[in-house]
Chains A and B, each alone.
Chain A
């Protein structure tokens, strides 16, 4: 049942994301930056909130008027800022819910990722509390509606000695002090939200909390245009002596509110509380066991720290040496954080297929696919190829269907992540004449399943991140396709084009390739 939901989700996201890929290109596809977008929206809300705070009057009598002043008299700045405050917080709900749905669909919420999932689900409550307390402050009819319904909702809980709803019986009973309390809630809860967002990203390294500049500017421009075209308006002053009948709720925040009246407060508590509980239990329904975590071989580790620098999940740490060798540190893997992506092995300088005098064991290696086995597989798969266009493809598990790729007549080796490939394998396969060209196939650029695999691979190939692909490797024989399995026809076309290019180039000449400067290396075709 969960799997079919995920499949449907993946299909849905793939459909929309393909459209966005076509429109913007994969690198600035907002769907690949939903979490970062939520951060960005938070900052817009925070900045606009500070401006609104300057003019806001924290009193029952003054609040509505001060917001009206901002909206109408000072529409060019205050009004736009108010609208930005409103629309960015709506957008934050959208980005957050999409982020949640997408991570669910991609199965990135179980196993070692449970922590981000649980903290993320808890953030939803802070997000909603922040938004709803904000609507309260405008003190218009919608605010009155929210005040009354929220009070009814909370009154159902056996928490408060007396009814909160009685505060809103008539104008005389709502005191300025209660209003000040709401004001502090509207500032305090978002601060906790921010703290929670920080906690949410603690278990990954290099969390992307800023979307790419193009997305950032485009989104800001769109929100500003929206604010000018459809300014956020109040819905008439609150008047507790009349019963609010018709309001236009903000469905992003208030979708449950009509149900409080329609059903009962208890039923809505059941839906909200039960839903939250269910979401929080999801990582264990059923749990997932990750592939075995990376293993360090101290005999091959000098503590250079490349695996530590490249691990996307902070699963590798460096600690003081324990085996008596005079190195300062050694790599240690925390299995509770390791997703077995293999990016650490891809970074290890001892993970090279050229080693033959000693047994090939990398300083840090993956039990699922050790470097030695990767070399064996490389030899085995390439032995079956013939012609002058022999292509060996190292394929991320999210990068394509191995059977379909093999049917295209190329050698295929599946990797947990394309970043698990030490660049020396490319040098090895080409210079030892095992293949005429190497293809790296992964998910969409900007959307690496293991977060940093594609980035690190591109930087390693371009000589901007260790270990570099040596400059001597003829770049025209190396190509990367970041496409994901979605566009099969395009993938086949690119493979055919690459093979045609190899036929044109002819076989790799014996006698070694002349040494190119490694530092000056440049990679062609790294983007899809």
Chain B
């Protein structure tokens, strides 16, 4: 079973944003699946770096849309974006600097999943209403 299932209620009504949310969910699910398997050929940092870059690009697009629409909660939303990127970067460093034993893949994937569903439910829903 996938970690996160796309749900129509996640839709923010902006085709591009929905598309990237789906892609990110796909990437997170894929990470989760691979990390569950002990014989994973792809290493954790490989995926983390990729997720970090994709999320950063996704946020860049969202922020451009928000700026264009003078979204009222822009600063708040942007700070939330940067916080998640900081968090992923911390995890990447922890892992690479030898803390890999302590790294709990499941925990990380769950955290990412939780963050995403939270992100969709609060900020993006509000963004959607405002961008309409």
Residue ranges of A at the interface with B (Cβ–Cβ < 8 Å): 300, 302-306, 325-328, 349-350, 352, 354-358, 363, 427, 431-432, 466-468, 470-472, 510-519
Compute how far the CA of A467 lies from the CA of B86 in the bound complex, rounded to whole angstroms: 13
Name B's A-contacting residues (CB within 8 A): 15-16, 18-20, 42, 45-50, 52-54, 56-61, 63-64, 78-79, 82-83, 85-87, 89-90, 92-94, 96-99
**Cβ of A328: which chain B residues have Cβ within 8 Å of it?**
15-16
| Minimum CB–CB distance for B83 against chain A, Å | 8
Closest to A352 in B: B53
CB contact between A515 and one of B18, B54, B86, B96 (< 8 Å): that residue: B86
Q: Complex formed: what's the CA distance from A325 to B15 in Å?
A: 9
In the complex, chain A residues whose CB is within 8 Å of the CB of B82: 468, 471, 517-519
Least Cβ distance of B118 to chain A in Å?
A: 19
Q: Please tell me if the beta carbons of A518 and B96 are within 8 angstroms of each other in the complex.
A: no
Are A431 and B61 in contact, with the CB atoms below 8 A? Answer: no
**Chain B residue nearest in CB terms to A509:** B97
Question: Which residue, A349, A431, A470, has most C-beta atoms of chain B within 10 A?
Answer: A349
Contacts of B54 in A (CB 8 A): 350
Q: Is the CB of B63 within 8 A of A302?
A: no
The answer to whether A354 touches B92 (Cβ under 8 A) is: yes
List residues of chain B with CB within 8 A of the CB of A512: 90, 93-94, 97, 99
**A473: nearest residue on chain B (CB-CB)?**
B89
* Residue picked from A302, A305, A468, A519, most chain B C-beta under 10 Å: A302
Pairs of residues from A and B, 8 with the lowest C-beta to C-beta distance, nearest first: A512-B93, A354-B49, A304-B60, A357-B50, A326-B15, A349-B57, A304-B61, A510-B97
Q: Choose one: A470, A472, A519; the contact of B79 (CB below 8 Å).
A: A519
Q: A303-B16, A352-B53, A515-B87 provided; 12 other pairs, C-beta below 8 A?
A: A302-B57, A306-B64, A326-B18, A327-B15, A327-B16, A328-B16, A357-B47, A357-B50, A472-B89, A514-B90, A517-B82, A517-B83
Complex: A76 Cα to B43 Cα, angstroms: 79
CA distance A278 to B39 in the complex (A): 71
Say whether B42 contacts A357, CB under 8 Å.
yes
Query: How far does the alpha carbon of A517 sit from the alpha carbon of B54 in the complex, in Å?
Result: 20
CB pair B49–A470 under 8 Å, yes or no, is no
User: Are A356 and B57 in contact (CB-based, < 8 A)?
Assistant: no
Nearest CB of chain A from residue B80's CB, rounded to whole Å:
10
Enumerate 30 A-B pairs (CB-CB under 8 Å) in ascending A order: A302-B20, A302-B58, A302-B60, A304-B63, A304-B64, A327-B61, A328-B15, A349-B53, A349-B56, A349-B59, A352-B52, A354-B48, A354-B52, A354-B92, A357-B46, A357-B49, A431-B89, A431-B93, A466-B63, A471-B82, A510-B97, A511-B94, A511-B99, A512-B90, A512-B94, A512-B97, A515-B86, A515-B90, A518-B82, A518-B85
In the complex, the answer to whether B86 meets A518 with C-beta atoms within 8 Å is: yes
Known contacts A302-B58, A352-B56: A325-B90 contact under CB 8 Å: no
